[in-house]
Structure 1
Amino acid sequence: MSDSDPFDLGDIPEEETARSLSAQAMGGMRPPYLRGLNEAQQEAIEALDGPVLVLAGAGTGKTRVLTTRLAHALSTRKAWPGQILAVTFTNKAAKEMQHRIGSLIGGVVEGMPWLGTFHSIGAKILRRHAELVGLRSDFTILDMDDQHRLLKQLIKAEGIDEKRWPARQLASHIDGWKNRGLTPDKVPAGDAEHFGNGKGVSLYAAYQERLKILNAADFGDLLLECLRLFQENPEVLNEYQDRFKYMLVDEYQDTNVAQYLWLRLLAQKHKNICCVGDDDQSIYGWRGAEVDNILRFEQDFPGAKVVRLEQNYRSTPHILGAASGLITANESRLGKTLWTEMNEGEKVTLRGLWDGEEEARVIGEDIEQLQRDGHLLRETAILVRASFQMREFEDRFINLGLPYRVVGGPRFYERMEIRDANAYLRLVAQPDDDLAFERIMNKPKRGLGDKALQTLHQLARQQGISLSRAARLITETEELRQPARRNLKDFIDTVDR
């Protein structure tokens, strides 16, 4: 077990934190953070005890409700900061929540160790109990690129045609199984037929074994291994069930099966769970999200309170009307009627065009007309579903001489050079990290190609050692040509420095 305790609040004593937060409430005055709320928002915030489902339509002040509910639980002394589990879907959302809570109740957010994403909280729990799932507390979390390279090795070793059955396809199957909370032994027999002539599940099992040898986990494991930890170690589950007196979950409509099972297990003792979401905004079914999770909340938690946030602060009546006209055709909705006090605004225009090229031409003409009417180019934005759709717009704007700026692109940590730099750091911290070694052994180019790597792999398997250790041994032999040996030794010396 790790020496550090994630339940520790550091330098902020919980008693002092709660005392300072409750000063306003104990004074008999309505806390400032509860002012200016509409009736539904106030109801969602003050219903702290028991299961609560908040159906938050787009633009209805969901983020304010989430942060204010947390502030209210703290200021009324319902729980210490370390007794609240607050789960978001992105790091950005978690940071925004931290910032907003800080502005409401002061600089005590650092005392909330369980505010974060599913994956960050799962990783924290796993590191604390790593040995119970066959890992060490310093395990590496693989990114997609590492995952694909490892799967390519397994596919090649199995003699499967990688062109016909690419690693990314196997990765998609494995991610799907993990999102459903399925370990290799629980994957339905029919699913095994979907890859490599029935070898998908055996490759999944080999992949999991290889991860344990590497002391590594992928993102799916951060929840799947947590589930296994709780299911196989009741005393560990009981520790966290006791700890989390209040649970708050954002974007509940986008949870997958593994996340749903994880939350249900943790909520079984106190049952003070508040899930915020909107079944009308469920768009991630392609990556395992189950909208049924939100639809059956009242069945999972009998007696649950359902609060609907329907006043919209973002859009005009025309936009709400158009959106409502579309969404009402959905089946199995929980139902909401969004309304707003804003002015009517511009009408929504729907156009049917022949293809992307015609779309770019028409949009370009519209922008030129707006410019002639005195509007600034920076007042116009074009949203696309996927980045490849930008190409035709860019070509058209260049032809028209319209200046434009593309917002987006690869995330910082997904850029190739950042992944390479990160691999160097990983290898320095953990010399036996084979995936990091393999990634940077020939970056920059050192004349250490596939043949040299294959020779290293053979020696590592024969000796039962890591690639890094195999490299140190092989530089003392004649297995590699002299230039390759010299370059490999220089690489090892660089890492050692």
Structure 2
Amino acid sequence: MTASRKHALEPVAKPQPDAQIVPLSQRASAQPPYFAGLNAEQREAVEALDGPVLVLAGAGTGKTRVLTARIAHILATRRARPQEILSVTFTNKAAKEMKHRIGALVGGTVEGMPWLGTFHSISARILRYHAELVGLQSSFTVLDTDDQLRLLKQVIEAAKLDVKRWTPRHLAGLIDSWKNRGLGPDKIPAGEAFAFANGRGAEFYAAYQQRLKDLNAADFGDLLLENLRLFLENPDILKSYHHRFQFIMVDEYQDTNVAQYLWLRLLAQGNHNVCCVGDDDQSIYGWRGAEVDNILRFEKDFPGAKVIRLERNYRSTGHILGAASGLIAHNQGRLGKTLHADGGPDGERILVQGVWDDEQEARAISDDIESARVRGQKLNDIAILVRASFQMRALEDRFVTLGLPYRVIGGPRFYERQEIKDAIAYLQVMYNPANDLKFERIVNTPKRGLGESTMQTLHAYARAEGVPLFHAAKALATSDELKPAVRKTLSGLTEAFGIWRRSLDAMKHTDLAERILDESGYTAMWQADKSPQAPSRLENLKELIRFMDDFDTLGGFLEHVSLVMDAEQNSEGDRVSIMTLHAAKGLEFDHV
């Protein structure tokens, strides 16, 4: 166990067998449809409902099918109601796909499964129920990376430090690392605090956390960290979730970090029906805090756990599996399994081609792709995997020269575009006026004649009075500290936000969003813009409004925006996909 595991819990007691469990054979004579097509190991994993279970699922062995069939089995046998199942995935896309598959298995749309989602979405949901107990309000905002860096810059500058020497990005990396390990400012090892500002790392961490509370905000790391604090300081609340969750399932368990591990262990203390699915050979996120030891120590954490291995691969040929297994065999600390192809030919042999440099490599790859296209191969079925993003340059240059269509998976996200961030900032300020970071973003967008001196005055008043910038603007709009034109602008802006906020319950949220963008002048700003990018920005805003219609409330939409983890990609047209090995996880292509 590493030093970072000093907060790990004691092993969960071995569960006692339930004498009232009725064998499946006595419950129904007909085989349920969700068992169709399952092999023996998959079916064993689906039916093993009682006690802790670890499913070691190699690549292409049907783990998603096992998870969905397992949930369908729980529901069909009435072992639990939908709202009593906690099912954790690593991406929103995976959660959506799982819900769709479960619906197909049980015959209809799956309703009432509020606890099927990512670690972040589920912990955010819990935190909103109990926000006051950790010093937040239920309307708290989840900061994105840009806002986190801006806030850290303010904290560093307030301490009179040089932000070029002690950068916000460096401090953000340290804080994320500490939060991933479940460590608050008071738990930072003394040696690690010296990684920033000559031993002041914990001090800046604490100052940042206080600023978050002042803004009624949290970052991604806080969602789990505050959950841990909530559970440890309020045993009655933890016990209520023990009663609530009759079954717990976690996907991609090998990629969990320490905070996620501790969160799961706390919840699993009550009901021992926990099933973790993962593959110790696929742990690739150590650089962002993932601990493969979590899966390696499962049997120690949960005495009496059943371990089921899924080794029949339905995705790859024998030659590919043989090469992959040969490399994986060198990994240390494996639980061990051997993948084998599900029948069929061994396929083409893997080609290893030596080249002089990246330019020759790009030419060779593009030549192969052109030949494949001539033979009728679709470009959408072709992927190029690189170890790091910098290796894409030569390929992209070559493809542009040849006019070969391509896309980069893992590139800019839809929600990271300027116009989308601005529009969402307006909505977040209306929803949570205490969000200083978002208010600062839109207060002079479009241009309203509010310069740096005005912002300094607002900040000074906000600090002196201990209020958010929005309330400072509202107060100063009626004072003599600012010029009449500035007071008029601030008065009009704050009054507009008040009107929009009062319309929240009376108007459909999509109509309200459209109204805000129109009345604020933001839409008109891009309509008047003559740059080549302006039309696409307006289309993106329209798409944002259309997408909002998929959510019942504005709050639900803003929650989704804060938590969304999957890159937005333009998948239209036939094109080659270029991506890093990390971005390729979970994807499939005919030619790689």
TM-score by length of 1: 0.91
Structure-2 change in CA distance of 1:349 and 1:300 (3 Å) = same
Does structure 1 residue 350 correspond to structure 2 residue 352?
A: yes
Question: Does the residue aligned with 1:53 lie in a helix, a strand or coil?
Answer: strand
Structure-2 change in CA distance of 1:164 and 1:267 (3 Å) = same
Q: Distance in 1 between matches of 2:478 and 2:491?
A: 9
> Which is worse superposed, 73-82 or 155-164?
73-82
Q: Distance in 2 between matches of 1:236 and 1:323?
A: 46
Total equivalences in the alignment: 476
Structure 2's unaligned 5+ residue stretches are: 1-23, 500-592
Structure-2 change in CA distance of 1:329 and 1:24 (3 Å) = closer
Give the letter aligned to residue 309 of structure 2. Answer: R
- The answer (yes or no) to whether the contact 2:216–2:434 under 8 Å persists in 1 is no
- The answer (yes or no) to whether the contact 2:143–2:218 under 8 Å persists in 1 is yes
Question: Does the residue aligned with 1:111 lie in a helix, a strand or coil?
Answer: coil
- The answer (yes or no) to whether the contact 1:315–1:342 under 8 Å persists in 2 is no
Deviations, residues 381-416 of structure 1 (Å, cap 9, x unaligned):
323345443332121122234344445532222222
> Which is worse superposed, 278-287 or 194-203?
194-203
- The answer (yes or no) to whether the contact 1:437–1:467 under 8 Å persists in 2 is yes
Q: Distance in 2 between matches of 1:336 and 1:349?
A: 26
The aligned runs of 1:142-157 (5 Å cut-off) are: 142-157=143-158
Deviations, residues 273-300 of structure 1 (Å, cap 9, x unaligned):
1000000000010111000000000000
Tell me: higher relative CO, structure 1 or 2? Use CA pairs within 8 A at least 6 residues apart: 2
Deviations, residues 437-485 of structure 1 (Å, cap 9, x unaligned):
1111122233333332222110111122221121123233454455544
Percent of aligned positions that are identical: 66
The aligned runs of 1:84-99 (5 Å cut-off) are: 84-99=85-100
> Which is worse superposed, 371-380 or 30-39?
371-380
Q: Distance in 1 between matches of 2:288 and 2:407?
A: 30
Deviations, residues 210-253 of structure 1 (Å, cap 9, x unaligned):
11121111111111100001111111111111221211100000
Q: Distance in 2 between matches of 1:134 and 1:404?
A: 48
Aligned to 1:395: 397
Give the letter aligned to residue 330 of structure 2. Answer: A
Structure-2 change in CA distance of 1:347 and 1:246 (3 Å) = same
Q: Distance in 1 between matches of 2:313 and 2:154?
A: 52
Question: Does the residue aligned with 2:128 lie in a helix, a strand or coil?
Answer: helix
> Which is worse superposed, 461-470 or 380-389?
380-389
Aligned to 1:300: 301
Does structure 1 residue 101 correspond to structure 2 residue 108?
A: no
Structure-2 change in CA distance of 1:363 and 1:467 (3 Å) = same
Aligned to 2:530: none
TM-score by length of 2: 0.77
Aligned to 2:534: none
- The answer (yes or no) to whether the contact 1:25–1:75 under 8 Å persists in 2 is no
Q: Distance in 2 between matches of 1:365 and 1:400?
A: 10
Aligned to 1:166: 167
- The answer (yes or no) to whether the contact 1:82–1:114 under 8 Å persists in 2 is yes
- The answer (yes or no) to whether the contact 1:247–1:274 under 8 Å persists in 2 is yes
Does structure 1 residue 246 correspond to structure 2 residue 243?
A: no
Aligned to 1:383: 385
How far off is 1:496 after superposition?
A: 3.7
Question: Does the residue aligned with 2:312 lie in a helix, a strand or coil?
Answer: coil
- The answer (yes or no) to whether the contact 2:140–2:432 under 8 Å persists in 1 is no
The aligned runs of 1:299-378 (5 Å cut-off) are: 299-340=300-341, 341-371=343-373, 375=377, 377-378=379-380
Q: Distance in 1 between matches of 2:220 and 2:378?
A: 44
Give the letter aligned to residue 334 of structure 1. Answer: L
- The answer (yes or no) to whether the contact 1:25–1:76 under 8 Å persists in 2 is no
Aligned to 2:134: 133
Aligned to 1:18: none
Aligned to 2:15: none
- The answer (yes or no) to whether the contact 2:60–2:314 under 8 Å persists in 1 is yes
- The answer (yes or no) to whether the contact 1:187–1:201 under 8 Å persists in 2 is yes
Aligned to 1:433: 435
The aligned runs of 1:6-25 (5 Å cut-off) are: none
RMSD of equivalent CA atoms? 2.1
How far off is 1:378 after superposition?
A: 4.8
How far off is 1:368 after superposition?
A: 3.4
Aligned to 1:495: 497
